[in-house]
Homo-oligomer: A and B are copies of this chain.
Amino acid sequence: MSVSIIGIQGIPDIQKGDDLAQIIVDRVKRQKETIKDHDILVISQKVVSKAEGQIIQLDAIQPSVFSRQIAKELQRDPRHVEVILNESKKIIRMRSGHLITETRHGFICANSGVDQSNIGKKNSVTLLPKNPDASANLIRKKIHQLTGRNVPVIITDTFGRAWRMGQVNFAIGVSGIKPVHDYRGKRDMYRRVLHVTEIALADELASAGELVMNKSDRIPAAIIRGYRYRFGHGSGKDLLRPEDKDLFR
């Protein structure tokens, strides 16, 4: 059994309104590849946000008193803090210059995913897509129209984690695949029933995609080929563990 991860190269600087699906299909063709049945498409949040115009000019932001207080304490730009708070429904941690928040979607991450890298505009920040599942769904439908192939789409972002050093790619938007695979009730190789194994396969696919998705964002998308999965209805929210069932937090 073999899985390949193919980086999609040469994707240009994405502007608001760009048709990301069209650009991806074109670039795949240029590298003499085709999107095939049972492929999975992994796309970095950054290009999706740019295509959707999820960019804020910090100069236009008037920070609140609260944002200015926090910014002072954390030694941050108060306008950036203001944008982060606007994207948050809860502050989880606030310490040593860092802000861990729960975003409006329910993701727990640094700065509500509001990011200053790879934008190319001074004093600008990108926000996460408003509805990453809807974004993934739209791209999937357009890819289908353009190629006849119905492939799952996973939108990813790089998040920190409790207990572990470093960041990894997580799935924030999902379309066409069930993000968590439940092995409970299945049997192990000795036919003993497995009790607790639910695998967050969309997060594992996101991590795998990251192996070719260059950190400086020149390769913001990848095809994963050869992974056996079942089509299914999927949502990035399926990966959010309810607080009362989370022993790790």
CB nearest to A167 among chain B residues? B199
Complex contact B199–A158 (CB within 8 A): yes
Complex contact A247–B98 (CB within 8 A): yes
Does residue A38 face the partner (Cβ distance < 8 Å to B)? no
Closest 3 CB pairs of A and B: A166-B200, A162-B248, A207-B207
Q: Which of under 10, 10 to 19, 20 to 34, or 35 or more describes the interface residues of A?
A: 35 or more
* Contact residues in B for A54 (Cβ distance below 8 Å): none
| A interface, over-half SS | loop
Complex contact A188–B217 (CB within 8 A): yes
Task: Given the known inter-chain contacts A1-B219, A212-B1, please indicate yes or no for A167 contacting B119, CB distance below 8 A.
Answer: no
Greatest chain B CB density within 10 A among A161, A167, A249 is at: A161
CB nearest to A170 among chain B residues? B164
Cross-chain contact of A208 among B160, B200, B204 (Cβ < 8 A) = B204
Complex contact B240–A164 (CB within 8 A): yes
Does residue A186 face the partner (Cβ distance < 8 Å to B)? yes
* Contact residues in B for A195 (Cβ distance below 8 Å): 117
In the complex, how many angstroms separate the beta carbon of A119 from the nearest chain B beta carbon?
A: 7
Cross-chain contact of A246 among B118, B163, B211 (Cβ < 8 A) = B163
Task: Given the known inter-chain contacts A1-B212, A248-B100, please indicate yes or no for A168 contacting B207, CB distance below 8 A.
Answer: yes
